[in-house]
Amino acid sequence: MQILSITDPAALTIAQSVIQSGGLIVIPTDTVYGVSCSPFDEAAIDRLYAAKGRSREKAIQVLVAGWDASAPFIREVTPLAGLLAERFWPGALTLTLPKRAGLPPNISIYDTVGLRMPDHSPLVALLRAVGGALAATSANLSGAASPTNVQMAVDALGDAVQLYLDGGETPGSLSSTVVESHGDTLRILRQGPVSEAQLRDALAGQTFHFASAEK
């Protein structure tokens, strides 16, 4: 286990090595700390689930450096999702979209996958360095409070993670809002920093409706 500042000159090189070898890294984000791995490595995703004690019924989202990095993961971008990304990316909104075939089956047992571009420059630089994307979820034991500093993540996950990147205290304590987009229908799967009122405001003038707020 190693702890480095995310701005340490060695951090990107070491993170690349850990990811390429199938390991886990903890990362600071603009919401809470996350634990992450390659989104293309089925065994690494298994390790992520095991480290957290996370149910396989809860999909793993993908953090991307931008829309250009999203193509390997999704079949299409719905018009509503595109408008929401323009308004809230980078930021605390995860968009759940139709999943592209060929991804590791354990990243999501559903026909969708969640994508988010974080508003965190050092993390976006890291995402670019490792190929544009990381599979990620909050760096806590499943059901526990999400960590807002690196020590909370260390206390939760310990030696299950090979590299911890310290970015100081996170600016927030809530995980991202998760919105599923199908055609002209939106569904809020998880409440977070981006409210329904903000989503409606961003789509003013568009034809759409919200399904029941929670599955």
Give the model's confidence band at 213: pLDDT under 50 very low, under 70 low, under 90 confident, else very high.
low
- Residues 124, 128, 134, 139: is their CA dihedral positive or negative? negative
Whether the upstream peptide bond of residue 104 has omega within 30° of 0, thus cis, is no
- State residue 212's pLDDT score: 65
Residue-range domains of the chain with CATH: 2-210 (3.90.870.10)
How confident is the model over 49-105, as pLDDT tens digits? 999 999 999 999 999 999 999 999 999 888 999 999 999 999 999 999 999 999 999
φ/ψ (deg, to 5) at 181: -125, 120
> For residue 154, what is the enclosing H or E element?
helix 150-157
- Rounded CA-CA distance 83/206 in Å is 10
Confidence check: pLDDT of 215 > 70: no
Do the Cβ atoms of 21 and 15 come closer than 8 Å?
Answer: no
Give the model's confidence band at 46: pLDDT under 50 very low, under 70 low, under 90 confident, else very high.
very high
- How does the average pLDDT of the chain come out, rounded? 94
- The type of residue at 131 is G
Cα radius of gyration (the chain): 16
